[in-house]
Chain A
């Protein structure tokens, strides 16, 4: 089976450079969006021995020029996990653009490579909007199943357990299909040294919007990004006996009026 897996190169929120007034987007490194590792794992499993697994990434964070090398290094990791080929869409016009454009670009790559199934993550760590899977499905005219925590694909159809807020839905859908997976679906593999070395020889194709024949404009624009600073007291007690620590904590709770004792 031919599988396309969507991998976002997300802003690493754990290493975010923040000042009082600005978010240092350009100084913050990228990372593979966590749940997309689960998507890659699932894609590699689905591919089996006969098919091909291809990853697609649309670069969203500037500066696009300097980020391309960084992006390719991350894609080597994806390739080391077992993906056969990586596609990177990098274009100034896409940095800071909306999901409408991203979905158009992804769908166009899917059309070109010809996939039976598209696997995505439930949501990204940086944006957390959970909208790309349904948008890509709309663009391709395919059905979609989101929040999948168990997936079986056989004979041109998929059976999945979808995790909704208050219930789990067991559903069946015809291929071609778009699915988004949750973290609980599998445990992403850590590539072996051999796999890392093999990944160096796998192809990474780089494309721009022009190559994909997309000339449309985004519907929304990121106009401003400002830090949300919370200042906390940060009284951290490391020294002393457990009794002393516990009593200091209770003192604190009482002094602040969080607990009202006798």
Chain B
């Protein structure tokens, strides 16, 4: 049986399940990287990825396809899955072949539960966070071009790049995260100042990035934002809705500052302060400086 893979990690996973891996790449660079891990790579430089998946299913056949987790790749996977009559499980955290079926796990219900699915091949997947990186590989696979059509009913008019800074929340040891408890954009300085004292990065809830646009989206934490796993996650003026919590479950410690003692966030914390953030933050920064002996 074959697996269609678009990353070296997926190629390793496929081999572990005893499947022969076939590559699908979007650029020549991706294709070269994949060729180190599989016998053959198809590179689809333009056109519909969904059509490429369907074509490869028809011409080469596969039991499993492991695709990238980007929004565009997920759309293509879902589209192709319907056309070939397949299940598609995005953000899989575990997959195994049990007899003639796959068993796949993913987090559901606001990351409060693990769902286990049994699916007949073909199965399409994207991998959730936590997949391990793999090295260079040495298979020296062959690279072939695959040309597919474009959907002419959809036309691109323009592209706007989103602003990007130097925020790497995924690697942060400490994150101070801000929510709608802040009354104006300028007040976020209180959090940035504290973050500086702590050597932390600043995260935020969805409304701060998406609705209010007080911070670029790279700060956005949660189900639809970034999944983070710092040593300490400090949520300030964040109510703690399930969709925010979904992004922070892997934090070693969670703390919160919120003026409402009944805010849901307090169910998820190791340490909580019930008080006005406008009083707590300046004092916390000042006392930390004193006690850590940092000027």
Contact = CB atoms under 8 A, between A and B. Distances in A.
Interface of A: 11, 13-14, 16, 18, 23, 98-100, 103, 122-123, 125-139, 143-147, 159, 164-174, 182-184, 218-228, 230, 232-238, 242-243, 245-247, 249-250, 252-254, 256, 258-259, 261-262
Contacts of B164: 166
10 contacts: A99-B81, A130-B75, A136-B82, A147-B71, A166-B161, A171-B155, A172-B154, A173-B155, A218-B87, A230-B268
Interface class of chain B by DSSP:
mixed
A167 B266 CA distance: 35
Given A236-B271, A249-B271, 6 more contacts: A135-B79, A138-B80, A146-B71, A219-B87, A236-B266, A238-B261
Contacts, number: 246
A217 B153 CA distance: 32
Interface in B259-295: 261, 264, 266-275, 279-280, 283-284, 287-288, 291-293
A13 B109 contact: yes
Contact of B255 (A13, A134, A249): A249
Contact of A261 (B71, B82, B115, B293): B293
A100 B78 CA distance: 9
A165 B71 contact: yes
Interface residues of B, number: 87
A139 B88 CA distance: 15
Contacts of A222: 115-117
Contacts of B162: 166-168
Contact of A146 (B75, B108, B206): B75
Interface class of chain A by DSSP:
mixed
Interface in B29-81: 50, 70-72, 74-81
Contact of B117 (A23, A174, A223): A223
Q: Which 4 A-B pairs have the closest CB atoms?
A: A131-B78, A220-B87, A220-B119, A138-B82
B112 A13 contact: yes
Nearest to A236: B272
Given A246-B280, A249-B255, A258 B116 contact: no
B113 A23 contact: yes
A40 B149 CA distance: 33
B148 interface: no
B89 interface: yes
A125 B71 contact: no
Contact of A232 (B174, B268, B291): B268
A235 B74 CA distance: 40
Interface stretch (B8-16, B20-28, B182-190, B241-249): B241-249
Contacts of B280: 242, 245-246
Contact of B118 (A13, A133, A223): A223
Contacts of A256: 253, 270
B241 A14 contact: yes
A221 B287 contact: no
Contact of A143 (B89, B153, B158, B269): B153
A237 B274 contact: yes
B157 A170 contact: yes
B168 interface: no
Nearest to A99: B88
Given A125-B243, A222-B117, A232 B254 contact: yes
Contacts of B78: 99, 129-135, 138
B231 interface: yes
